[in-house]
Amino acid sequence: MKTFQEMSRQELEEMRGELTARFEEIKAEGLKLDMSRGKPAPEQLDTAMPLLNVLNAESDMQAENGTDCRNYGLMDGLPEAKRLIAEMLETKPENVIVDGNASLSLMFDTVSHSVTHGVCGSTPWCKLDHVKFLCPAPGYDRHFRVTEYFGIEMITIPMTEDGPDMDLVEKYVQEDESVKGIWCVPKYSNPQGYTYSDETVRRFANLKPAARDFRIYWDNAYCIHDLYEDKQDTLLEILAECEKAGNPDLVFEFASTSKISFAGAGVSAVASSPKNLEWFKKAMTVQTIGPDKINQLRHVRYYKDRAGLKAQMMKNSALIRPKFELVLEMLKEELEGLGIGRWTNPLGGYFISFDAVEGCAKAIVAKCKEGGMVLTGAGATYPYGVDPKDSNIRIAPSYPSLAEMKEATKLFILCVKLVSIDKILEQI
Amino acid sequence: MKTFQEMSRQELEEMRGELTARFEEIKAEGLKLDMSRGKPAPEQLDTAMPLLNVLNAESDMQAENGTDCRNYGLMDGLPEAKRLIAEMLETKPENVIVDGNASLSLMFDTVSHSVTHGVCGSTPWCKLDHVKFLCPAPGYDRHFRVTEYFGIEMITIPMTEDGPDMDLVEKYVQEDESVKGIWCVPKYSNPQGYTYSDETVRRFANLKPAARDFRIYWDNAYCIHDLYEDKQDTLLEILAECEKAGNPDLVFEFASTSKISFAGAGVSAVASSPKNLEWFKKAMTVQTIGPDKINQLRHVRYYKDRAGLKAQMMKNSALIRPKFELVLEMLKEELEGLGIGRWTNPLGGYFISFDAVEGCAKAIVAKCKEGGMVLTGAGATYPYGVDPKDSNIRIAPSYPSLAEMKEATKLFILCVKLVSIDKILEQI
């Protein structure tokens, strides 16, 4: 099989003719496909509906420590909710604060408190001329928007299959005092689905930051979000590694049940050292009268423990897995060996990352839109929304139905081919 | 009847002897009473339990605009939730954002966004040397803690039965550009239970602030929290008044259902002009993936409209009213005409405000503690926790049972008398 680059102008132009005709046919169908966000599909949410049966007007509303969950109090979460989340994150309940419905808010608040009040007694970032964050990329656009919002300078760190380029991370963190944080999605990373290797985690835990207010923002969003029961990535537990390394305060870990129970109606958590949590609670005492404990109670009574959460995830993945497999099979069948794209084969998480020929990502996303499909904006996976190679595209297969997914992938492949041909023809 | 001040040393000392004996008896009982916080009583929360029956595994989870409430999206709340809250606040749905479980967080966030990013394009407060807030006092301690947390200078404004001293408010707001806000609880104020008069509201709406980023923080926490069906205060709707006055962007109004449905598990809202809401949403877009829409749906389906909310409130007030009446009767019977205390007689809200002889509040609260009862810390109702006259005490009758309330009030009255005698004897 020839790669596109090996083909002659004539061959490419002929192919373009055929593909364009097919594209016009699809376009005429007036599709409305959406592969832009990592949203659970309705069928997936259906599997969590029994959660709504757990509490009713007759229920005992007391937490195990006697707290009336319908009243004020218990700012940092129910003891049993801390235990549940601790099991999920493989850490200790005393390392956990369980909060409201969104871990993104916890991340925003952590950065915001650092900007206005400084971290654990350090200078507030708003008083500093330079504050920088390291941003492994491709990464999660909502992370980058938080740091951009606060005017924090973002430095792109290349991703590898083992996690961020740790030589570069160590260099920046250990030499530059203005580097205050790094965004990480350590398991089934967004968008590549990579899981940090044990060595990467250990190198993180052993960082010797130049800034004493440097923290790792460890967004463990996909901690139990496996696609398979028998093939799963494993991630070394970071808080214990930090303790071992004599760096107990190095990490803020975040998680939620948004992609376990209901998206935006689950519970979220931050896990960290006692010292960091003390600092966080100082702000919480002013900011809130406490989280929705009724929803915490609902989750705890329904899921009970780690096994309960994992059982829910297996229901979810039974629905997501075929979509991932379909996309990956089609990509393999239609694009492998053509030299116009590489993609990841994740075992969990919500995304597949696609790298097109350099300079083609924006054009592919635009072409897909023309054909009736919304993709995540090209560049979104990079700080400031700018992918220097204009190559990365995030594919989110979870939301559409299997049938829509097939249509969507067909269109995507067509657009990749068309845009790549144009690019190559330009360069011949 | 003689006032305490008119009594002789001998009379006072004799009385002290008797009262001390009674105090020691009560102390020996080892009571554990709590009149410190405005918490709903368990029986009150029981009346809201049917709310938990509204949604179950079989429920239709679509909002009226087709949004699946179990999934991400709709950052500013369900349309029907906006309508419900708008009815409660007597404003328009387009003026409302419905958010998570706590209006305190919305207030904190509003101040925090102003500190880091400025209000609607104005200079961020963290870049200014002086930022001041007016604090009508006695007032709500959690308000004052928010401004104190951000290092904002607080200026005490005396309260009258018609609201804050508006001459002083106008002077500060219109002459001092560093005055950026004022905390208000306009209806059944915390702790006095006063409702701002129409003239006060109109003077607020017609302020001509020196600072273009000055805003009124209108915490309408007790908007429908009446104790009686037939005797109710009414409050002029501020947003409409501001529009009439050509000052549409002057107010951020806050509210929640925490003291309607469940404390800490209700829904909260901010109401303001389109321009202010646009500004607020700009931060929200970064901070959150959206509120818990399932809980919003639950509230809307159960309460339906303003009448539904009011019906819930009448169930609540049937339980709170007797407690208020008991306290007020006992105070009247035991303290009226003695010259050692004045108190308010609110028609709604959660508190009674008690003014002791100057210099006695701290000692009374300490004496009550010795006798087995926790009260809100003396001074808490003033900025920085310092009541310059050491006179104001906040009484929160909602949480204890009627029987406990009787014990508590008996002890309170005893302590007021004992401490007042000591004070007067010092001065003879």
Sheet containing B392-395: give its strands across: B341-343, B352-356, B392-395
CA–CA gap between residue A157 and residue A164 (Å, rounded): 6
Q: Which residue has the tokens 């790669």?
A: A3
Round to whole Å and give the CA distance between A300 and A231.
27
CA dihedral B181, B186, B189, B192 (to 10 degrees): 100
pLDDT-based confidence at B158, cuts 50/70/90? Answer: very high
Do A292 and B291 make contact, defined as CB atoms within 8 angstroms?
A: no
Residue count (chain A) = 428
Residues listed for chain B: 428
DSSP string, A66-87: S-BTTSS--TT--HHHHHHHHH
Contacts of A262 in chain B (CB under 8 A): 70-71, 294
Structural contact between residues A79 and B76, judged by C-beta atoms closer than 8 angstroms: no
Check B108 against A72: CB less than 8 A apart.
Answer: no
B103, two tokens: 């209006």
**Chain B residues within 8 A of A108 when measuring between CB atoms:** 286-288
Contact A289 B142 (CB under 8 A): yes
Cβ distance of A289 and B42 shorter than 8 Å: no
Tell me how far apart the alpha carbons of residues A69 and A295 are, in angstroms, rounded to a whole number.
9
Quote the CA–CA distance of A52 and B52 in Å, as a whole number.
9
b/e code B269-306 from CB counts within 10 Å (16+ = b): bbbbbeebbebbeebbebbbbbbbbbbbbbbbebbeeb
Contact assignment for B42 to A71 by CB distance below 8 Å: yes
The helix (run of H) or strand (run of E) holding residue B414 is helix B402-427
Q: Give kind and range of the element (H or E) at residue A422.
A: helix A402-427
Query: Would you list the DSSP string of A263-316?
Result: TTSS-EEEE--HHHHHHHHHHHHHH-S---HHHHHHHHHHH-SHHHHHHHHHHH
What pLDDT was estimated at residue B112?
Answer: 98
Reference B150, options B125, B177, B121; nearest CA is B125
CA distance B248 to B95: 11
Contact (CB<8Å) B265/A39: no
Judged by CB atoms closer than 8 Å, whether chains meet at B264 and A55 is answered as no
Unique residue bearing structure tokens 């908007």: B223
To the question of pTM greater than 0.80 for the whole model, the response is yes
With CB atoms and an 8 Å threshold, state whether A57 touches B52: yes
- In the block, tokens 């680059």 appear at A5
pLDDT at A119: 98
Tell me whether residues A294 and B265 touch, CB distance under 8 A. Answer: yes
Of B145, B283, B294, the CB nearest to A286: B145
Report the residue from B72, B104, B292 with minimal CB separation from A295: B292
Low-confidence ranges of chain A (pLDDT < 70): none
Nearest CA-CA distance, residue A54 and chain B, Å = 8
Q: Helix axis angle, A306-335 relative to A402-427, nearest 10°? A: 40
CB contact under 8 A, A265 and B295: yes
**Chain A residues with CB inside 8 Å of B58's CB?**
49
In the beta sheet, which residues pair with residue A179? Answer: A132
Q: In angstroms, what separates the C-alpha of B20 from chain A's closest C-alpha?
A: 35
Task: Give residues with Cβ within 8 angstroms of B206, minimum separation 6.
Answer: B245, B247
Q: Which pLDDT score is estimated for B36? A: 86
Q: Which residues of B touch A288 (CB under 8 A)?
A: 102, 104-105, 108
Cis bond upstream, residue A397 (ω within 30)? no
Contacts of B264 (CB under 8 A, 6+ apart): A71, A72, A73, A289, A290, A291, A292, A293, B101, B102, B258
Are A126 and B116 inside 8 Å of each other by CB?
Answer: yes
Q: Are strands B215-219 and B251-256 parallel, antiparallel or unpaired?
A: parallel
CA distance A407 to A420: 20
d(CA A333, CA A159) in angstroms, rounded, equals: 26
B292/A264 Cβ within 8 A: yes
pLDDT of residue B34: 87
Among A39, A53, A71, pick the best mutation site for testing chain B contact (most B Cβ within 10 A).
A71
Q: How much is the pLDDT for A36?
A: 86
A50 to chain B, closest Cα gap in Å: 5
| 3-class SS shares of chain B: helix, strand, coil, % to 5 | 45, 15, 40
**d(C-alpha B199, C-alpha B156), whole Å:** 21
Tokens of B177: 């550009």
**pLDDT attached to residue B303:** 98
Nearest to A225 by CA among A40, A98, A388: A40
Q: Do B72 and A37 touch (CB under 8 A)?
A: yes
Residues of A in contact with B71 (CB under 8 A): 39-40, 42, 45, 262-264
Are the Cβ atoms of B71 and A45 closer than 8 angstroms? yes
For A163, residues 6+ apart whose C-beta sits below 8 A from its C-beta are: A136, A184, A186, A189, A194, A195, A196, A197, A200, A201
- The answer to ipTM > 0.90 is yes
Nearest residue, CB atoms, A150 vs list B45, B109, B116: B116
Q: Looking at beta carbons, which residues of chain A come within 8 Å of B293?
A: 264-265
State which residue of chain B sits closest to A104, comparing Cα positions.
B288
Contacts of A67 in chain B (CB under 8 A): none
- For B2-38, what is each residue's pLDDT tens digit? 999 999 999 999 999 999 999 999 999 999 998 888 8
In the numeric block, which tokens belong to residue A128? 């500093």
A280/chain B closest Cα distance in angstroms: 13
Instruction: Please list every residue in chain B whose beta carbon sits closer than 8 Å to the beta carbon of residue A57.
Output: 49-53
Short-list B73, B52, B54, CA closest to B292: B73
Compute the distance between CA of residue B379 and CA of residue B385 in angstroms, rounded to an integer: 5
B64 near B79, Cβ under 8 Å? yes
Tell me which residue has tokens 């926490």: B221
User: What are the pLDDT digits (tens) for B227-282?
Assistant: 999 999 999 999 999 999 999 999 999 999 999 999 999 999 999 999 999 999 99
Residue B277 is predicted with a pLDDT of 98
Instruction: Give Dmax over CA atoms of chain A in angstroms.
Output: 78
Q: A146: distance to nearest CA of chain B, Å? A: 6
Q: Is B70 close to A45, i.e. CB distance below 8 A?
A: yes
Give Cα separations from B12 to B2, B17, B24, B421 (angstroms): 11, 9, 18, 6
CB < 8 Å to A126, chain B: 116, 124, 126
Q: Do A265 and B37 touch (CB under 8 A)?
A: no
Instruction: Compute the count of residue pairs across chains A and B with CB atoms less than 8 Å apart.
Output: 163
- Chain B nearest-CA distance from A384, in A, is 14
Closest Cα in chain B, distance from residue A179 (Å): 20
Binary contact (A104, B40; C-beta < 8 A): no
In this complex, the residue of A105, A263, A292 whose CB is nearest that of residue B72 is A263
Residue B218 has pLDDT above 90, yes or no: yes
CA angle B373, B377, B379 (to 5 degrees): 145
Q: Which amino acid is at B116?
A: T
Residue of B nearest to A114 (CA): B116
**SS3 at position A160:** strand
Mean pLDDT, chain B, integer:
97
Comparing CB atoms, the residue among B55, B70, B104 nearest residue A288 is: B104
Interface contact flag, A265 B105, Cβ < 8 Å: no
Give the burial string for A210-246 (b: 16+ CB within 10 Å, else e): ebebbbbbbbbbbbbbbbeeeeebebbbbbebbbebe
Task: Give the pLDDT confidence of A236-277 residue by residue, as tens digits.
Answer: 999 999 999 999 999 999 999 999 999 999 999 999 999 999
Task: Say if the Cβ atoms of B104 and A287 lie within 8 Å.
Answer: yes
Of B56, B146, B292, the CB nearest to A286: B146
